[in-house]
Amino acid sequence: MTKRLMLMLLVGVLVLPLAGCRGGAGSHRPDPNTLYVGSVQSSFPSAYMPWLSREGIAPTIASMLYDSLFSYDEATGDYLPAIGREWYYVDEDGKPIVTEDGSIDYARLEELYSDPKYDYLAVKVIIHDNITWSDGVPLTVEDVYYSLDLATNHALSNHAGALAWTSDLKHKYNNGVLVERGLFTYERGALEQGYQISPEEKDTVIYLHVDKVLGAVTPLFTSVLILPRHVWEPVVTRENQLNSSAPNAEILHRYTHPVGSGVWVLDTEQSGSQQIVLHRRKDYHLTKADGSPLIAVDTIKFVLYQEQNVALYALLKGHIDLLDSSVSSNYLLLFEQQEDLFVSNAPGVFTQTLVFNLNPVSSERSPLRDLLANVEFRKAMALAINQEELIKSVLDGAGVPASAGLMRPTLEDFYNSEADSLLPGDYAERLALANSILDGIVPEKDKDGYRLLGGERISFKILGTPREQDVVSFLQIQFKKIGIDVQYAAKGAQPESTYLYTSKFDLTLQGVIFSLSNVDIMYPAHFSTLGRTSNYGRLVNEELNGAIQEMRYTLNLHTKYELLKRIQPMIAQEYYKVPLYTANVISVARTDRFTGYQVVEGATVFNSESLQNLRRVEGR
């Protein structure tokens, strides 16, 4: 059955039951000030501790109940206020290192901190003075101190992710004992360090010492959701850690009854396994420029659907206002036939790549996987991948080719087009070159044209999710042109622990995103560090590692940009994480009750800009 015929049948299945039902669509959403949001998940979480899980809807809910210090604007490179109001790099006296217009003075920063006597950068953060937790207790820098301190203390947090977020913070624990202090407040060592904080500032000013890495502040500012000290400090101990698989009654109560500083509060009475209900805080400290509430919607009700077609039917029928899920481009034809729909076809930021297991642990090595260790073999497979055809066939055109250097061309300051010059542009020429390379490595073929190794067909399994089977199917077609067989293999529920960290795979699909805000952490994780990291195929390249380290530790922003440009061709010529495409993010919402939905790069229609711009349709 062709893909187009399958789509037409799907359209019929979803649309036919809607005949004659349009007039009553709004009746399924009885509360006019509630935004009904469908979420496609296997289940909803029962615990809402913000560091507990990154699966499914849990991080979305956590980011609505809790705040970080700042948020990052990729378009401008600015850190936008959240709990934090402003921040500066400072000198040893705590004075901001800024130019006359108030921006970071990178020249002076480099001049001062390139001195070997400093093994850190000093950062001053000033938080808002009018924030309260959802239980009414004021939020102060002691909550910020507690959260960052806890994140570095694995003996109490039991959270590996928190250690990664704070890896560049010069605040270290060894088996639960503080061995280096890198956080300073009025009550915790600021004066002894030489930082003057007045009694009037004691609740709003904190100093951080971080590694001499320009991107060190990003995860500290944007990844760590700040916890209420008064809620967690009395119950978190070595015996009852913050991230517990068997929480005691006190910790479990805090998991299920979260106290946050975010714009939303959980309705514990109405929330359960099938729905999550959030109410907007009337006293949230951030507002619009005119002083009106940042968010106009009073309540959000998340409704669980375990199958996407059922969720789409509920949307079209009027049971929900929008889907907090990206959908396949296959559905675009269906949406075009419906009224009262807003379709967000947002540019994507994640690049889908094909990752080779080129250096498995010794117990997982095999003659077939030894082929993947050959960079020329990997190059031949990369040559056979036709991104344009994949985008046309798999995404129905809703995507763009991705750079071999894995940096988005829209990041003009440091994107390097030279990374894309390593492969010929003409596909016929690419196939000829790929077959020529393979003829020199594995020339023998079977009757079907597949190449042989030791008399056996060369066949690799590609790990993917059920939604990625189309991708593997089209890769099968493309790789057959060079005599290589590939088959789909299900990743399962926990692929990293089951297959990827343990080297039990041939190839895998992996989405990656690199930008100025994350390269200091993500480049080492993807290309340098071995073990439980995103370097699934265990690449080892000392020249690349050296360039990454140099890029991380330069204090000259121009030099950092130039090193990023140098690194991209180095990544491309490894043919290790080979780009397939960057898919658009397609999502949909109803417009019969709310309008003002915003298209945001890399996000579904359920995003913070939409929530800040939504308004009720008059008379609905």
Whether residue 148 contacts residue 159, with contact meaning beta carbons closer than 8 Å, is answered with no
Residue 101 has pLDDT above 80, yes or no: yes
Q: What is the pLDDT of residues 121-141, one digit of tens each?
A: 999 999 999 999 999 999 999
DSSP string covering 539-558: ---HHHHHHHHHHHH---HH
Q: Are 260 and 65 in contact (CB under 8 A)?
A: yes
pLDDT at residue 588 in the model: 95
Tokens at 394, concatenated: 């798999």
346 φ/ψ angles, rounded to the nearest 5 degrees:
-85, 140
Among 4-8, 105-109, 430-434, 605-609, which stretch is predicted with the lowest mean pLDDT?
A: 4-8
Instruction: Indicate the pTM of the whole model.
Output: 0.88
For the segment(s) 351-583, the CATH number from 3.40.50.720, 3.40.47.10, 3.10.105.10, 3.40.50.300 is: 3.10.105.10
Confidence of residue 21 (pLDDT cuts 50, 70, 90): very low
Give residue 339's pLDDT.
86
Q: Which numeric CATH code is attached to 27-41+272-347+585-616?
A: 3.40.190.10
Neighbouring C-beta atoms of residue 563, cutoff 10 Å: 19
Q: How far apart are CA 372 and CA 379, in angstroms?
A: 10
**pLDDT (0 to 100) of residue 41:** 87
What pLDDT, on the 0 to 100 scale, is given for residue 369? 96
pLDDT of 7 strictly over 90 = no
In whole angstroms, give the CA distance from residue 81 to residue 72.
Answer: 9
Indicate the average pLDDT of the chain. 92
Domain range annotation of the chain: 27-41+272-347+585-616, 62-232, 351-583
CA separation for the pair 515, 412 (Å, rounded): 11
- Looking at residues 168-188, what average pLDDT do you find? 97
* Rounded average pLDDT over 597-613: 94
Summarised one tens digit per residue, pLDDT across range 448-464 is: 999 999 999 999 999 99
Residues 473-504: tens digit of each pLDDT: 999 999 999 999 999 999 987 899 899 999 99
Radius of gyration, alpha carbons of the chain: 26
Amino acid 55: pLDDT: 66
* Cα angle 54, 57, 63; round to 5: 75
Q: Which CATH superfamily is domain 62-232 in?
A: Dipeptide-binding Protein; Domain 1 (3.90.76.10)
The residue length of the chain stands at 620
Instruction: Indicate if the pLDDT at residue 14 is higher than 60.
Output: no
Rounded to an integer, the average pLDDT of 567-578 is 98
Q: Which range, of 16-20, 321-325, 401-405, 605-609, averages the lowest pLDDT? A: 16-20
Given a cut of 90, whether residue 56 has pLDDT beyond it is no
Per-residue pLDDT at 312? 92
Residue 231: which residues within 8 A CB-CB, separation 6 or more? Answer: 133, 135, 254, 259
With bands split at pLDDT 50, 70 and 90, how would you rate the model's confidence at 58?
A: confident
Q: Which two tokens stand for residue 310?
A: 């059922």
- Nearest alpha carbon to residue 503 among 484, 522, 530: 530
What is the pLDDT at residue 53?
A: 61
Average pLDDT (394-419) is 94
pLDDT at 222: 95
For the segment 307-350, what is each residue's pLDDT rounded down to a tens digit? 989 999 999 999 999 999 888 888 888 888 888 999 999 999 99
pLDDT in tens, 217-241: 999 999 999 999 999 999 999 999 9
Indicate the pLDDT class of residue 36, thresholds 50, 70 and 90: very high
Distance CA 291, CA 49 (A): 31
CA distance 331 to 407: 29
Helix/strand/coil (H/E/C) assignment for every residue in 86-138: EEEEECCCCCECECCCCCECHHHHHHHHCCCCCCCEEEEEEECCCCECCCCCE
Q: What average pLDDT does range 68-94 have in this prediction?
A: 92
Average pLDDT value for residue range 343-371: 96
